[in-house]
Structure formats: C-alpha cells, structure tokens
Structure 1
Amino acid sequence: MAEEKKVKKDHGKWFREMRSELMKVVWPSAKTTAKNTGTVLLCSLGVGACIWIFDGVAVLAVKTLIGLFTH
C-alpha cells in the first residue's frame, strides 16, 4: 500500500512539474503561425515541383535509353 501511495504521489509531482514547464512556454501569435504555415506550404510546393520535374526528366531519359537499345 505504501508503494501505491508513493507512485500516485510521484505522478502528481510529475504533472505539477509538467504544468509549471508548460507555463514557461512562449506560444507564437496567430500572425506568426500563419506566416510559418505559408512558408511551409510554399516550400512543400517548391520541393514537390522539383521532384515532379526530376521525375519527368528521369522517365524521358529511361525511355530514350530503352528506345536506343530496342531498335
């Protein structure tokens, strides 16, 4: 029984410490969050476009190589 009380007490301490640490966090404003979200979306689109272009070039190169060796 003594161990159960100690475990429950430790959990309570952990939650209090976690809450205390979360109170120290400086959360970003809505404007900053929107700006960061836009940046992530634009970067994702840019990387996606690069992959799409590379894929197209790679497919064209493979088809050209296959065409050279099949004739």
Structure 2
Amino acid sequence: MGEKTKNNAPKTSWFKGLKAEFKKIVWPDKKTLGKQTAAVVFVSVVLGAIITVVDIVAQYGIDLLVK
C-alpha cells in the first residue's frame, strides 16, 4: 500500500505566504471605489425594477388564466 506524504511545513510559512499574497493586491482608490459602488447600486436597482415588472406581468397573466 502506498504511503501518504505529509507536508511538515510549519504554519508560519503559510501565514508568510498569505501575507505576501495580500501585498500583491491592488486596492482601488476612493474615486474608483465610489464609481464602482454607484454602478453596483444602479444595476441592482434596474434589475430589481425589471424583475418587479416581469413579476407583475406574470401575475396578471396568471390571473387572466385562472378567472
């Protein structure tokens, strides 16, 4: 039977790697963050409105079929 190999690296090296990866992240500035936030809110509101309209139309259609 084959033996499983264990990774005996200390946990500190994992945290060092995590810290190194976080240093690679390019965080957006306030202006970009504001624009992206506004875009997300706008798209969410528009999609919510579209879903509401589709729901109302579907409910109206179902009511016509049932009555």
- TM-score range relative to shorter protein: 0.7 to 0.9
Amino acid at match of 1:23: K
Q: Distance in 1 between matches of 2:12 and 2:63?
A: 65
Match of 1:50 in 2: 50
Match of 1:31 in 2: 31
Match of 1:64 in 2: 64
Amino acid at match of 2:23: M
> Gaps (5+ residues) in structure 1?
1-6
With the length of structure 2 as denominator, give the TM-score of the two structures.
0.81
Q: Distance in 2 between matches of 1:14 and 1:31?
A: 34
With the length of structure 1 as denominator, give the TM-score of the two structures.
0.77
Amino acid at match of 1:65: L
> Gaps (5+ residues) in structure 2?
1-7
1:44 Cα deviation after fit: 0.5
Aligned residue pairs, count: 61
Sequence identity (%)? 33
Amino acid at match of 2:47: V
RMSD: 1.6
Higher helix share: 1
